Amino acid sequence: MQNILLVDFGSTFTKLTAVDLKKEDIIATSKAITTVDTNISDGYETALDRLFEKIGSKIEFDQIVACSSAAGGLKMVAIGLVEELTTEAATRVCLGAGAKVELVLSHNINNAEVQSILDKKIDIVLLAGGANGGNSECVIHNAKKLAESEVTAPIVFAGNKDAADEITEILSQAKKDFYICENVMPRLNVLNITSAKDQIKEIFVKNIIEAKGIKKIENEIDRVVLPTPNAVLMAAELLSKGFDGIEGLGDLMIADVGGATTDIYSMADGLPTQMNALLSGLEEPFAKRTVEGDLGMRYSAMGVLSSMSPSEISHYNKQGIDIVKECTLRYEEIDFISETDHDYVVDDIIAAKCIDAATSRHVGTLKGVYTPMGIMYYQVGKDLTKANYFIGTGGVVISSKDPVAMLKRATKIESKAMELRPVSPKFLLDKDYILSAMGLLSMDYPEIALKIMKKHITEI
């Protein structure tokens, strides 16, 4: 095997990366608008033609592997017991599996909440609740509600194992499509996401791809194996940890700014670096992803505007930029393409705000408590102050004339002193948009994927 084609069916663009395995390098990359509303093959064929044009001739591929976030990506609901604990654990499973969490529900769900699952056309329901040996009444109630409903989405149960037998009976009698996994929080504040995450990926490959229209292209590609964000997460973890004697980059963060969401990834244990800080709250995974559905360049531009203070808006007005008008324009015209220098300046402002706000929600925080021994701090979340690298990806970041200024908005600032942001990371750019492709490649060729990333994701 020599040539492999890696495909990312994105919500906006279908991106292709051709790799020569023998040379351990990229042959060429290309992209075209994703045509999921008509026939997804159209966008793929356009991107393929552009790829061959770059190469100078048509070439044969020994294998074609794809990931997808088309048609809204993998949409999930996380249902738990207590919002701060099992619901949060369930949400992290969804995000780690590459899903977009459309709904977060806790305690006993009611008819209106069940209807919201139907209204949002959820792809997979993750049902959690209770540590092993703890509360089982709530999760059994929620299973009954789902059993009585018209919800047809697969249900993954990953809660109190003491309730598993009864929930199996309830969902079997209702003829629901369901799966039983290990508890996402077997003990208080202990996270166990692997079993449920793997099951979600399996369901994605088996069931969801057909629903997203990807099945129309199955004769042209070998397999669609992952949701795109999960592929990025795999690539990021490989780049951080290294492989088989090839050194990784250590602790790192990634910001991926898109039209509808801003994704932040962190690869770090995140343990306290401050001597008088104690960990508090739910255990953090080494590889973490958060998704902000109200922060984006087009669909979520009004959410970005809402996150701006009156002083920020006034500041831009004094610079001759009506940021209210500009955000409204991008929200109302989601196919708006920047052409002028002014347009690109505005895009940079919006993207910088996305990164700033999304980083605030991703990193850990400190809360000071006065004790007889002096002030102590409780740390909730990950301490990312020592992150070695911060990587930018996504169209707006890659095309920016000054991506460093944009990415610096994620670093430590005096006005947010209690947020555990990176202090002095080096900034890298995924200029060829290859992270998702390298996640796919890493499934079979991790060493080659790592070498390519270290070569093409460059310092700026």
Asked if 268 and 382 touch (Cβ cutoff 8 Å), the reply is yes
pLDDT digits (tens, 9 = 90+) for 410-425: 999 988 999 999 999 9
The answer to whether 189 and 119 are in contact (CB under 8 A) is no
Whether 362 maps to a domain, the answer reads yes
pTM attached to this predicted model: 0.88
- Residues 285 and 323 occupy one common structural domain: yes
Does residue 227 lie within any of the structural domains? Answer: no
Strand order in the sheet with 374-380: 277-280, 374-380, 365-371
Q: What is the distance between the terminal CA atoms of the chain, rounded to a whole angstrom? A: 34
Closest to 421 measured CA to CA, from 189, 251, 247: 251
pLDDT at res. 250: 97
| Each residue's pLDDT tens digit, 272-289 | 998 888 888 888 999 999
354 and 269 in a common domain? yes
Q: Indicate if 61 and 91 belong to the same structural domain.
A: no
Domain of 37, CATH number, reads: 3.30.420.40
Question: What letter represents residue 336's amino acid?
Answer: F
Domain-located, residue 183 = yes
* pLDDT beneath 50: ranges in the chain: none
Cβ contacts of 396 within 8 Å, gap of 6 or more? 257, 297, 347, 348, 350, 351
The letter for the amino acid at 453 is M
Number of domains in the chain: 3
**What per-residue confidence (pLDDT) applies to 210?**
67
286 and 426 housed in the same domain: yes
Same domain, 159 and 83: yes
Tell me the angle at which helices 111-119 and 137-148 cross, rounded to the nearest 10 degrees. 60
- The reply to whether 313 and 380 lie within a common domain is yes
Residue 415 and residue 294 in one domain: yes
Q: Do 62 and 105 reside in the same domain of the chain?
A: no
Q: What is the pLDDT of residue 442?
A: 97
Tens digits of residue pLDDT in 342-377 = 999 999 999 999 999 999 999 999 998 887 777 889
CATH assignment at residue 85: 3.40.50.2300
Residue 101 and residue 23 share a domain: no
Co-location of 341 and 376 in the same domain: yes
Residues 6+ positions from 178 with CB-CB distance below 8 Å:
154, 155, 156, 157, 167, 168, 171, 172
- CA distances (Å), origin 382, targets 265, 280, 302, 359, 386: 12, 10, 29, 12, 11
Give yes or no: residues 170 and 281 share one domain.
Answer: no
Residue 454 in domain: no
Question: Which domain covers residue 186, as residue numbers?
Answer: 75-205
Closest CA to 146 of 162, 159, 134, 135: 159
Supply φ then ψ for residue 421, to 5 degrees.
Answer: -85, 160
